[in-house]
Structure 1
Amino acid sequence: MSQSLDRAITVLDELADGPKNLDQLAGRLGVHKSTVLRLLRTLEARRFVQRSGARYYRLGTSLFELAYRALDERDVRRSAEPAARELNATTGHTVHLASYEDGEVIYIDKYESRHNVRMYSRIGRRAPLHCTAVAKVLLAALPPDERDRVTAGIEYAKLTANTLSSRRALLAELARVAERGYAVDDAEHEEFIHCVAAPVRGPRGVVLAALSLSVPKVLLDLDGLLRLVPTLLAAAERASVECGWAKTPENAPGRTPGRREN
């Protein structure tokens, strides 16, 4: 690996957490300030970083341009946009689109709630694998060998009282997700938010992404959220058709939703 490239990537990663000065970056890299300054000048010339005041640096516009160009190249994001936007307009709740890649689930699109009470999330953020509805949908669709490998490597941090805290519990939940065709996050990731998600499929039924509705519990209880599952499934189906999925009687969505099984 190129040492200079590795250092430049480390600088960008550090600035992703907020502006930093030369001393802070040099300390993080363990190199002289002159070395960091050369990196910063190169990155600044290409607009990957920019100055923030007299002494600090922050991420520049080129990085955001690259990120959005990369997201736009994901055909599923473009193809699912009309269905996701309509789902957001119809329900008024937060809509996410997430994809799986190399053991991580990433939010690749988001449509904000119309309500004052909102959840904190952003495009490009990783979703915890064991306690989010989008991750459950995507993990349930993996080949068995890969699903076993991924679930074996999860730490199962207990984020709320409802968080699934073992591999055995998650695998049982993933089996239910595969059977019924949607996933539920019953305040497992955040105490005050619950969520439902459904798969977005492409040609041959391959799951390309997960489409979700996230709602604060103060606005809608679990039964109310589950009543929105048919609306979510219809939106996911529309997005899937746009992604090249052909609906047949054999691959129609799962059973009618009710309260989540224990």
Structure 2
Amino acid sequence: MARAVPALQRAFDILELFLDEPELSAPEITGKLGLPRTTVHELLSTLVERGYLVPSGRGSTRYRLGVRGFQLGSAYADRLDLAREGQLVAEEVAAECNETVHIGIREGTEVLYIAKVDSGHPVRMVSAVGRRLPAHCTAVGKALLASLSRQELDELYGAEPPRPMTDNSITDPARLREELDGVAENGRAREYCESNDAVACVAAPVRDHYGEVVAAMSIAVPILRWSERSERELAETVVRGATNLSERLGNRA
């Protein structure tokens, strides 16, 4: 690996201070980073010249982020592809747990799967990218529905109660709302034989750079490999994976 350039690292260190502080002065930056005063002033001058920082006001000795960083961030966001990024992260998660991993988005009361990586086990879940399932019957769907307001949920399920896929499916709107409240609180969802009599899942929401839930990641396991311990471990794995994908989409929460 090529050697990192110290001056560039220091410049990025300065810029990243502004992720948490709206304005900073040269002495404050010097104190936070422990850099020589002359080095900080030289780097600040360069960053101002390139538009990454600007003085906070006319004659001000304090600095704030400039438009150039916004332009780069916007260009990055414009080029993001949720399905592509989701597939890459799903591959990493599947390699870690050796179970089937899905990325899904919500369309009305349904989940649409946009990325998938199969388990290496001979017994695994049969599914496909592009498949749709009722959101209330899946862990992915619950992770997505949990981000909605009570009014939005009532609009989705008020006219017609959720329909079952198995005997374990939730069909009572009040019970569904109660479970979704728990998902919102815990940051993870589960399903045990609600969309398939032989499959259990755990899932976690994926957020974009605005903090909005735009997708969810799940790990699906045949019930012959399911236990309290495996559920706990897989839940931790799927939360890490969803957090990783969220960060790829620009989320910092």
* Residue in structure 2 matched with residue 52 of structure 1 by the alignment: none
Q: State the secondary structure of the residue aligned to 1:175.
A: helix
- Quote the Cα distance in structure 1 between the aligned partners of 2:80 and 2:169: 31
Q: Decide whether the 8 Å contact of 2:109 with 2:156 is kept in 1.
A: yes
TM-score by length of 1: 0.63
Give the equivalent residue in structure 2 for 1:150. 156
Q: Per-residue deviation at 1:153?
A: 4.5
Q: 1:231 aligns with which of 228, 233, 237?
A: 237
Question: 1:84, CA displacement in angstroms?
Answer: 1.2
Structure 1 stretches of at least 4 aligned residues deviating more than 6 Å after TM superposition: none
1:242 equivalenced with 2:248 (yes/no): yes
Matches within 5 A, 1:59-208: 75-208=81-214
Q: How many residues align?
A: 175
The RMSD of aligned alpha carbons is 1.8
1:227 CA displacement:
2.0
In the alignment, residue 122 of structure 1 is paired with which amino acid? A
Instruction: Give the secondary-structure state (helix, strand or coil) at the position aligned to 1:191.
Output: coil
- Contact kept, 8 Å, 1:194 with 1:222, in 2: the verdict is no
Structure possessing the higher radius of gyration over alpha carbons: 2
Letter in 1 for 2:128: R
The counterpart of 2:224, out of the listed 215, 218, 242, is 218
In structure 1, C-alpha distance between the alignment counterparts of 2:250 and 2:87, rounded to whole Å: 14
Find the counterpart in structure 2 of residue 258 from structure 1.
Answer: none
Whole-angstrom distance in 2 between the partners of 1:100 and 1:232? 18
Gaps of 5+ in 2: 1-78
Q: Deviations over 1:84-112 (max 9, x none)?
A: 11000110000000001344320111101
Q: Which residue of 1 aligns with 2:215?
A: 209
Query: TM-score with structure 2 length normalisation?
Result: 0.65
The 1:111–1:134 alpha-carbon spacing in structure 2 relative to 1, beyond 3 Å, is same
- Structure 1 residue 222 displacement after superposition: 4.0
How far apart are residue 143 of structure 1 and its match? 3.5
Kindly indicate whether the alpha-carbon contact (under 8 Å) linking 1:130 and 1:154 is maintained by their aligned counterparts in 2: no
Q: Deviations over 1:76-134 (max 9, x none)?
A: 11222322110001100000000013443201111011111122211111121221001
Amino-acid identity (%): 38
Contact map agreement 1:129 1:154 (CA 8 A) in 2 = no
Q: Deviations 1:182-237 (Å, cap 9, x if unpaired)?
A: 10001111111000000111012101100000000112224412222111111110
